[in-house]
């Protein structure tokens, strides 16, 4: 049998997983032993039964294949019995979640920096998902981090790279490595969940769409499902070839980075639906002809219409949204008589609620929507649920949105991002807000009066764990609000996120300009936080 080799090492600083795994520049990961230290720390602390199976795959970005080969050798040296790896090293994040669940793996390593750019000078990331298919909860990521600070050796075996491009099984040491089709299991699952016949019928009668895979991981999935199984015309999927540098673009499906799609959808040649997904396939962007749907609204609209999808009929138990996500979903939950949970930012906080059957559908303002079918948010799933609803109801995205707002009212919403700002300035801004909290209620900020303000803390209703300091909420009289948070996914400086929301009831103006409807909240945010003074920026870099 191949000899296990123990390689002495010393800890690297800063291997603390953020909102979604360890994300650093590729150059950082390329330091000798850097990825190995982190992977060994994962293997040292995570729960594993006898003869465990590990799932392995990534979004195909630069350095993916290198780390996959390292991880295979290390898994063999660490007692795994089997590794399931996506062909070409590819597995979208939701597809990986599905494979973990379907084949009862003890967990998986997902190699991705999500929507961050890729390439030798850009970002890489490693995330561990547990046996339920979801991101490791905080207790696990804390244990991994603690281990990285004390690690003194990692284990590997000396075997050549395996052929990642050929389906089938090979032995690495005594461990079996199966190179699996990354798409098939996922496509089958989607076909079980949705009314493909109804979608095929509207496609046959002329319904058109464009799906922008942003040269990232969803290309093969979207081509197989949309063009292959649902009959959309060839060319419906654009930028469908996963590239190591995403073609030099930012694979983030928002109005800035998917501007071509947005322009098409606002123009005279718009198809019925425009959609996009991110680097690792868990985010989604939905645009109807002439109508952008915010992620917060998308969650509410999908929840309100979920009965259209066969697998969800009669089984909506609850809805969950992250705190900065608008309260549009809360109104739907109330109307449907189901609970709505408000969690901190990060998909991992939905895991317990989903496992306990307390919620069926979840969503975040950061372009994430998903359900209990896996334990990750799922970009293509959201697109397919939209298609299913539009097909069954026979209406356009714009009609559906207008009808929804007329019934529930509209939560005008935007997020302003100040990217890569000075960390000290950002920390000072947040500290300044915390210092003001005790006295903010009753303060007048321009046209608005503060009703309440707090630092959001969450107690998980399933395991009782508490997560504090999850963002500053400033709630105004009349129901509008501003939320401040520092991003947990950036790799340079700090990113300040300012979330703005203004609710208008069904009797109000439901088709106004979003920035006009949020002008008072934008001014109040500046007044209370001193954004320009702390960051040196007078305008956000990205508005989503
Ligand atoms: C990742 C996580 C999401 C989270 C998002 C924003 O995509 O999977 O759950 O909402 O990051 O995080 P950030 O900390 O950058 O606002
Ligand atoms: Zn992602």
| 163 and 190 assigned to the same domain | no
366 C-beta closer than 6 A to ligand 1: yes
For 363, the enclosing helix (H) or strand (E) is: strand 361-364
Distance CA 77, CA 7 (A): 11
Which of 298-312, 368-382, 486-500 is least confident?
Answer: 486-500
Give the pLDDT confidence score for residue 18 in this predicted structure: 82
Give the pLDDT confidence score for residue 224 in this predicted structure: 98
> Which ligand places an atom closest to the C-alpha of 281?
2
31 within 8 A of 12, measured Cβ to Cβ: yes
Give the pLDDT confidence score for residue 196 in this predicted structure: 98
Domain, as residue range, for 490: 410-543
Task: Tell me the ipTM for this assembly.
Answer: 0.96
30 C-beta closer than 6 A to ligand 1: no
Give the pLDDT confidence score for residue 239 in this predicted structure: 97
| 102 and 58 assigned to the same domain | yes
> Which ligand places an atom closest to the C-alpha of 323?
1
Using the atom order of ligand 1, give the atom closest to the CA of residue 490. Answer: 15
Nearest to 385 by CA among 320, 307, 269: 307
Beta-strand relationship, 319-322 and 291-293? unpaired
State the distance from the centre of ligand 1 to the C-alpha of 323, rounded, in angstroms: 12
State the distance from the centre of ligand 1 to the C-alpha of 499, rounded, in angstroms: 14
Task: Point out the catalytic residue in the list 92, 114, 215, 366.
Answer: 114
| 33 and 142 assigned to the same domain | yes
Residue carrying structure tokens 């494979």: 99
DSSP code for 183: T
| 151 and 194 assigned to the same domain | no
Residue located nearest, by CA, to atom 1 of ligand 1: 20
Q: Is 524 exposed, middle or buried (0-12, 13-18, 19+ CB in 10 A)?
A: buried
- Would you call 396 helix, strand, or coil by DSSP? coil
| 87 and 25 assigned to the same domain | yes
Distance CA 1, CA 3 (A): 6
Residue that is last in its domain, among 383, 408, 433: 408
* pTM for the full predicted model: 0.95
Q: What is the pLDDT of residues 509-531, one digit of tens each?
A: 999 999 999 999 999 999 999 99
State the distance from the centre of ligand 2 to the C-alpha of 441, rounded, in angstroms: 37
Using the atom order of ligand 1, give the atom closest to the CA of residue 366. Answer: 10
| 157 and 231 assigned to the same domain | no
pLDDT level of residue 341 (50, 70, 90 thresholds): very high
Q: What is the CATH number of the domain that holds 108?
A: 3.40.120.10
For 322, the enclosing helix (H) or strand (E) is: strand 319-322
Q: What size, in residues, is the chain?
A: 544
For 262, the enclosing helix (H) or strand (E) is: helix 259-266
Is 114 a residue of the active site? yes
State the distance from the centre of ligand 2 to the C-alpha of 274, rounded, in angstroms: 19
Ligand 1, pocket-test mutation among 16, 18, 19, most atoms within 8 A of CB: 19
19 C-beta closer than 6 A to ligand 1: yes
297 C-beta closer than 6 A to ligand 1: no
| 383 and 487 assigned to the same domain | no
Q: What is the pLDDT of residues 259-297, one digit of tens each?
A: 999 999 999 999 999 999 999 999 999 999 999 999 999
470 C-beta closer than 6 A to ligand 1: no
Q: What is the pLDDT of residues 445-471, one digit of tens each?
A: 999 999 999 999 999 999 999 999 999
pLDDT level of residue 348 (50, 70, 90 thresholds): confident
Residue that is last in its domain, among 408, 438, 462: 408
Instruction: List CB contacts of 433: < 8 A, sequence separation 6 or more.
Output: 472, 484, 528, 529
| 258 and 244 assigned to the same domain | yes
CB atoms within 10 A of CB 409: 18
Ligand 1, pocket-test mutation among 16, 370, 488, most atoms within 8 A of CB: 488
How many domains, in total, are found in the chain? 3
| 392 and 532 assigned to the same domain | no
Residue located nearest, by CA, to atom 9 of ligand 1: 346
Check whether 491 has a pLDDT greater than 70.
Answer: no
State the distance from the centre of ligand 1 to the C-alpha of 457, rounded, in angstroms: 17
114 C-beta closer than 6 A to ligand 1: yes
Residue located nearest, by CA, to atom 4 of ligand 1: 346
Residue that is last in its domain, among 182, 216, 234: 182
> Which ligand places an atom closest to the C-alpha of 280?
2
pLDDT level of residue 489 (50, 70, 90 thresholds): confident
Using the atom order of ligand 1, give the atom closest to the CA of residue 18. Answer: 14
Q: Please, what is the Cα angle at 20 between 360 and 120, to 5 degrees?
A: 135
| 375 and 242 assigned to the same domain | yes
| 500 and 371 assigned to the same domain | no
| 360 and 415 assigned to the same domain | no
Beta-strand relationship, 209-212 and 237-238? parallel
Nearest to 425 by CA among 501, 283, 534: 534
Check whether 67 has a pLDDT greater than 80.
Answer: yes
> Which ligand places an atom closest to the C-alpha of 351?
1
Please compute, for residue 120, the number of CA atoms within 13 A of its CA located in the half-sphere on the CB side: 0
């Amino acid at each position: 049998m191949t000899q296990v080799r123990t390689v002495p090492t010393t800890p690297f600083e800063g291997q603390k997983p953020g909102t979604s795994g360890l994300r650093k520049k590729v150059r950082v990961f390329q330091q000798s032993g850097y990825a190995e230290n982190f992977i060994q720390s994962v293997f040292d602390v995570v729960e594993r039964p006898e003869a465990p199976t590990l799932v392995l795959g990534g979004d195909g970005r630069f350095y993916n294949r290198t780390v996959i080969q390292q991880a295979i050798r290390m898994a063999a040296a660490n007692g795994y019995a089997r590794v399931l790896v996506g062909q070409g090293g590819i597995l979208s994040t939701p597809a990986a979640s599905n494979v973990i669940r379907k084949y009862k793996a003890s967990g998986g390593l997902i190699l991705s920096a999500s929507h961050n750019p890729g390439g030798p000078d850009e970002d890489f990331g490693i995330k561990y998902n547990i046996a339920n298919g979801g991101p490791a909860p905080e207790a696990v990521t804390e244990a991994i981090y603690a281990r990285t600070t004390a690690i003194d050796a990692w284990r590997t075996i000396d075997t050549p790279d395996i052929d990642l491009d050929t389906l089938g099984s090979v032995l690495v040491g005594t461990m079996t490595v199966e190179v699996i089709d990354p798409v098939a299991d996922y496509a089958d699952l989607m076909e079980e969940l949705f009314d493909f016949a109804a979608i095929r019928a509207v496609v046959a009668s002329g319904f058109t769409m464009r799906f922008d895979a942003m040269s990232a991981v969803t290309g093969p999935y979207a081509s197989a499902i949309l063009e292959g199984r649902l009959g959309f015309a060839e060319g419906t999927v654009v930028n469908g070839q996963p590239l190591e540098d995403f073609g030099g673009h930012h694979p983030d499906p928002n109005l800035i980075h998917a501007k071509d799609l947005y322009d098409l959808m606002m123009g005279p040649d718009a198809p019925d639906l425009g959609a996009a997904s991110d680097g690792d396939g868990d985010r989604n962007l939905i645009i109807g002809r002439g109508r952008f749907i915010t992620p917060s609204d998308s969650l509410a609209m999908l929840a309100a219409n979920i009965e259209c999808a066969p697998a969800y009929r009669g089984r909506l138990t609850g809805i969950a949204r992250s705190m900065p996500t608008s309260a549009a979903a809360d109104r739907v939950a109330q109307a449907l008589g189901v609970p709505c949970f408000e969690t901190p930012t990060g998909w991992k906080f939905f895991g317990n609620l989903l496992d306990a059957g307390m919620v069926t559908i979840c969503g975040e303002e950061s372009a994430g929507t998903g359900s209990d079918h896996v334990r990750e948010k799922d970009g293509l799933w959201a697109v397919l649920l939209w298609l299913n609803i539009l097909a069954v109801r026979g209406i356009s995205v714009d009609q559906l949105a207008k009808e929804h707002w007329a019934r529930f009212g509209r939560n005008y919403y935007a997020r302003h991002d100040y990217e890569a700002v000075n960390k000290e300035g950002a920390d000072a801004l947040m500290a300044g807000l915390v210092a003001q909290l005790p006295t903010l209620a009753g303060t007048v900020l321009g046209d608005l009066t503060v009703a309440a303000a707090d630092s959001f803390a969450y107690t998980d209703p399933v395991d009782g764990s508490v997560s504090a300091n999850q963002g500053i909420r400033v709630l105004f009289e009349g129901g509008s609000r501003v939320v401040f948070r520092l991003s947990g996914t950036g790799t340079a400086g700090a990113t300040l996120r300012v979330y703005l929301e203004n609710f208008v009831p069904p009797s109000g103006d439901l088709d106004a300009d979003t920035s006009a409807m949020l002008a008072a909240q934008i001014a109040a945010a500046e007044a209370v936080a001193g954004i320009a003074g702390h960051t040196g920026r007078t305008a956000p870099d990205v508005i989503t």
